[in-house]
């Protein structure tokens, strides 16, 4: 049922050093049935199965965006836009934005903060097949301090009991992950500053323990150097932003980084497609300091995962490849970048059925013109996108 044999100049099965020249992928019933040499698959697969012959193209795993906000419109006044939106209209907007990501080759998105659990309803509609869209991993309302970063999303907590209740609420609503705003953020100027902690180390440990009790991992928004250390000690699974801020500017701590690596914590260094403008606005000195800490983390062996923070002001949906190009501009290799966007992101999100092309995996894959291992821009030239074996039509 719905079988198709895709053949191309190469298949990047993943990790990105696993390349099959003149390769093929047999898709069947939502999962990958076989991966191998095109000639062998062509000969062995029933001739009634349709062939998608993609000369000049590469087949690779669908890409993943580990940090988006589907409820946000990327405009300058998103807080009132989110708060004032009619739920039905906001649901439609969430679906449209998710589909924009899918059209850009992103087959999995992790939403790290929405309103009224609306992404969970969209996720259900996609999973049932009623709506075409990417796989959604949803955090629902992020835990934050009273009056803190993104409190308008409904996840404000003060006491330990509040924390337990909010996590139980999110889990019951269908959250796949618990998001905590461990430090302040730029979006909420009335709350703590970006480098200031919103939770004590003990509260962060409680959040991780409670999330684990509900079978969930924790994604921690953390700009502050001290907060990053506390999040790692508490046992979070991913650090979002990880910008090493203090009141005195960027202060990098290699000992915390060693613990990030040792504890298998992944870092989502959110970068929008418009990063060049963002760096210009930062000024050359601060931009250079920001880039330097990313290089130091990379040299220390940190596992980076891909995230755009799409939805926050200036971070448009569907400009995913622009984010990958930021890492290329820092000297990351193309294979390293593709792994960041696929297998490493799947690992960090605890998804064992996507991120590589192998028999039994979800058929989340893309076909692009050219070879992204030599030319990242090839990722913008999408010929086909499959999500759970379903072809996406434009």
Interacting residues with Zn ion (CB under 5 A): 309
User: Which CB, 309 or 325, lies closer to Zn ion?
Assistant: 309
Shortest reach from residue 1's CB to Zn ion, in Å: 39
Distance of CA 309 to the CA centre of its chain: 8
User: Which CB, 102 or 220, lies closer to Zn ion?
Assistant: 220
The DSSP string of 51-119 is: EEEEEEEEEEEPEEEEEE-TT--SSTTHHHHHHHS-HHHHHHHHHHHHHHHHHTTEEEEEE---STTHH
Shortest reach from residue 306's CB to Zn ion, in Å: 14
User: Which CB, 309 or 364, lies closer to Zn ion?
Assistant: 309
Distance, CA of 190 to CA of 35 (rounded, Å): 53
Q: Is 137 helix (H, G, I), strand (E, B) or coil?
A: strand
Shortest reach from residue 139's CB to Zn ion, in Å: 10
Report the residue closest to Zn ion, judged by CB. Answer: 309
Shortest reach from residue 112's CB to Zn ion, in Å: 5
Shortest reach from residue 98's CB to Zn ion, in Å: 16
Work out the end-to-end distance of the chain between its first and last CA atoms, rounded to an integer number of angstroms: 22
Shortest reach from residue 142's CB to Zn ion, in Å: 8
The encoded tokens of residue 330 equal: 């820092």
User: Which CB, 38 or 93, lies closer to Zn ion?
Assistant: 93
Distance, CA of 5 to CA of 35 (rounded, Å): 10
Do 187 and 150 meet the contact criterion of CB atoms below 8 Å apart? yes
User: Which CB, 149 or 384, lies closer to Zn ion?
Assistant: 149
Helix (H) or strand (E) holding 123: helix 118-128
Which residues, in sequence order, are CB contacts of 221 under 8 Å at separation 6+? 112, 142, 149, 179, 180, 181, 182, 183, 185, 240, 241
- Burial (CB < 10 A; 0-12, 13-18, 19+), residue 102, is buried
The encoded tokens of residue 290 equal: 């920001």
User: Which CB, 65 or 116, lies closer to Zn ion?
Assistant: 65
Shortest reach from residue 245's CB to Zn ion, in Å: 15
User: Which CB, 95 or 310, lies closer to Zn ion?
Assistant: 310
């Amino acid at each position: 049922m719905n079988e198709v044999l895709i053949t191309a100049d190469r298949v990047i099965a993943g990790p990105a050093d696993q390349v099959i020249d003149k390769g093929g992928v047999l898709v069947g019933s939502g999962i990958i049935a076989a991966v191998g040499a095109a000639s062998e698959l062509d000969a062995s697969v029933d001739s009634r199965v349709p062939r998608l012959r993609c000369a000049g193209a590469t087949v690779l795993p669908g890409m993943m965006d580990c940090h988006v906000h589907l409820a946000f419109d990327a405009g300058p006044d998103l807080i009132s836009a989110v708060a004032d939106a009619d739920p039905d209209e906001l649901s439609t907007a969430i679906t449209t934005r998710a589909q924009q990501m899918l059209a850009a080759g992103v087959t999995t998105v992790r939403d790290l903060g929405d309103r009224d659990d609306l992404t969970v309803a969209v996720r259900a509609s996609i999973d049932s097949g009623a709506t075409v869209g990417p796989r959604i991993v949803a955090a629902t309302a992020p835990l934050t301090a009273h009056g803190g970063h993104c409190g308008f999303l409904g996840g404000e907590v003060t006491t330990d009991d509040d924390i337990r209740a909010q996590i139980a609420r999110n889990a019951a609503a269908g959250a796949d992950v618990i998001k905590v705003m461990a430090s302040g953020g730029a979006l909420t100027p009335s709350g703590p500053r970006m480098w200031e902690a919103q939770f004590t180390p003990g509260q962060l440990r409680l959040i991780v323990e409670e999330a684990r009790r509900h079978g969930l991992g924790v994604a921690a928004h953390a700009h502050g150097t001290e907060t990053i250390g506390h999040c790692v000690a508490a046992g979070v699974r991913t650090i979002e932003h990880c910008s090493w801020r203090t009141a005195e500017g960027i202060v990098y701590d290699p000992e915390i980084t060693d613990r990030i690596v040792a504890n298998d914590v992944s870092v989502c260094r959110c970068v929008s497609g418009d990063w060049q403008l963002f760096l210009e606005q930062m000024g050359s000195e601060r931009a250079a300091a920001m880039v330097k800490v990313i290089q130091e983390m990379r040299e220390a062996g940190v596992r980076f995962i891909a995230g755009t923070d799409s939805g926050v002001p200036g971070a448009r949906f569907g400009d995913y490849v622009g984010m990958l190009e930021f890492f290329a501009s820092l000297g990351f290799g193309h294979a390293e970048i593709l792994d960041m966007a696929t297998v490493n992101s799947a690992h960090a999100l605890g998804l064992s059925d996507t991120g590589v092309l192998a028999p039994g995996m979800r058929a989340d894959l893309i076909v692009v013109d050219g070879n992204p291992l030599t030319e990242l821009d090839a990722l913008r030239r999408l010929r086909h996108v499959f999500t759970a074996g379903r072809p996406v039509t434009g």
